[in-house]
Amino acid sequence: MNEQYAIDIITRNAEETEAAGRRLGEIIRDTGARPFIALYGDLGAGKTVFVRGLAAILSPGSRVKSPTYTLVNEYRRGPVPLFHFDLYRIAEEDELDGFGFEDYVAGGICAAEWSERLGDSLPPDAVEVRIEKLEGDERRIAVRGIGEEKEA
């Protein structure tokens, strides 16, 4: 477990979830890491909202829209590109090869909604973001680095 990414918070509205995304963005910016961010959570949990916060730090000024129909959106206003995936419509891992998934992983910071669709293609050093719907507008957000912490 890589503790440098650990965030545990309950948010009460979309603004607070976006702020949590900014917090992770700051950790990534300050460490210079290029992690694969795997987002998990039901429809409407707030995954896209969270990525909006990430992008505010990693690609300032970019307007984040859900890549539901395009599969991936690219945000290039920061030093490292941010690739935002929505894998909801991926039925089989084979489909990932078709659009060069590995090239995106190697080429920048990735944030992927519906990462459960990745199966064995989930990068081993991913950062997991789990968003759980609670009562009303409340969400529980847990962020964990699942890879080993790298020696400085």
Ligand X SMILES: Nc1ncnc2c1ncn2[C@@H]1O[C@H](COP(=O)(O)OP(=O)(O)OP(=O)(O)O)[C@@H](O)[C@H]1O
Q: What is the binding site for ligand X (CB under 6 A)?
A: 11-14, 16-17, 41, 43-49, 66, 86, 113, 137, 139
Under 8 Å CB-to-CB from 138, ≥6 apart: which residues?
10, 11, 12
Using the minimum distance from each CB to ligand X, give the nearer residue, 53 or 78.
53
Report the C-alpha gap between 81 and 78 in whole angstroms.
Answer: 6
Angle at 143 between CA 133 and CA 35, to 5 degrees: 130
88 is a contact residue toward Mg ion (CB under 5 A): no
Smallest distance, Mg ion to C-beta of residue 71, A: 12
Report the C-alpha gap between 38 and 28 in whole angstroms.
Answer: 14
Q: Which does 13 bind (CB under 5 to 8 A by kind): ligand X, Mg ion, none?
A: ligand X
Of residues 48, 59, 62, 73, which one binds Mg ion by CB under 5 A? 48
Smallest distance, ligand X to C-beta of residue 127, A: 17
